[in-house]
Structure 1
Amino acid sequence: MKNTFISVEGPIGVGKTTLTNILAKHLDSFALKEIVEDNPYLKSFYENVEEYAFQTEMFFLCNRIKQLEDVQKKYLDRGLSVVSDYNIIKNLVFAGLNLQNGKFQKYRQVYAILADQLPQSDIIIYLYGDTDLLMKRIEMRDRPFERNMSRDYIDRLNREYQHYFDPCSLKHYFGTKIPKVISINVNHRDFVNCPQDVAYVLKEIQRVHEVSTSSQEVQSC
Structure 2
Amino acid sequence: MEGDKMSVIVLAGMIGAGKSTYTTFISEEFKSKAFYEQVVENPILENFYADPQRWAFSLQIFFLNTRFRSIKQALVHRHNVLDRSIYEDALFTKINYEEGNMSEAEMILYTDLLDNMMEELQDIPKKAPDLLIYLRGSLDTHLERIKKRGRPFEQVEGNSGLLDYYTKLHSRYDDWFNAYDKSPTLVIDIDSVDLEREEDRIKVMKEIKNALKTHSI
Fold similarity call, TM over 0.5: yes
Are 1:135 and 2:157 matched, yes or no? no
Q: In structure 1, how many angstroms separate the alpha carbons of the residues matched to 2:192 and 2:45? A: 31
CA contact (8 A) 1:97 1:160 kept: no
Tell me the distance in 1 between the aligned counterparts of 2:80 and 2:120. Answer: 17
**Counterpart for residue 170 of structure 1:** 180
Q: Using the TM superposition, name which of 117-126 and 21-30 deviates more.
A: 117-126
Shift of 1:83: 1.1
Matched, 1:21 2:24: yes
Number of equivalences: 200
Task: Give the unaligned 5+ runs of structure 2.
Answer: 122-126
Query: Residue type matched to 1:127 in 2?
Result: L
1:1-221 to structure 2, matched below 5 A, reads 1=1, 2-73=5-76, 76=77, 80-100=78-98, 102=104, 103-118=106-121, 120-147=128-155, 150-166=162-178, 169-171=179-181, 178-192=182-196, 194-213=197-216
Cα distance in 2 for residues equivalent to 1:71 and 1:7: 10
**In structure 2, distance between residues paired with 1:71 and 1:164:** 22
Q: Deviations over 1:41-71 (max 9, x none)?
A: 2222112222211111001111222233334
Shifted more, 53-62 versus 30-39: the winner is 30-39
Corresponding residue SS for 1:5: strand
AA of the residue aligned to 1:180 = P
Amino acid at match of 2:91: V
Is the Cα–Cα contact under 8 Å of residues 130 and 184 in structure 2 kept in the other structure? yes
2:32·2:81 contact (CA, 8 Å) conserved in 1?
yes
Percent of aligned pairs sharing the same letter: 28
Question: Take 1:32 and 1:206, find their aligned partners in 2: how far apart are those partners?
Answer: 20
| Alpha-carbon separation, structure 2, partners of 1:39 and 1:115 | 23
Q: Secondary structure of the equivalent of 1:121? A: coil
Aligned mates of 2:145, 2:214 — CA distance in 1:
34
User: 1:131·1:151 contact (CA, 8 Å) conserved in 2?
Assistant: no
Q: Is the 8 A contact 2:16 2:143 kept in 1?
A: yes
Residues 1:115 and 1:144: Cα distance change in structure 2 (over 3 Å): farther
| Structure 1 portions without partners, runs of 5+ | 172-177, 215-221
Worse-matched range after superposition: 147-156 or 8-17? 147-156
Q: Secondary structure at the residue paired with 2:120?
A: coil
Contact residue 87 and residue 121 of structure 1 kept, 8 A: no
Please tell me the root mean square deviation across aligned C-alpha atoms, in Å: 2.0
CA deviations 1:57-111 (Å, max 9, x no partner) are 00111122223333445xx2xxx21011112112112111112472334312210
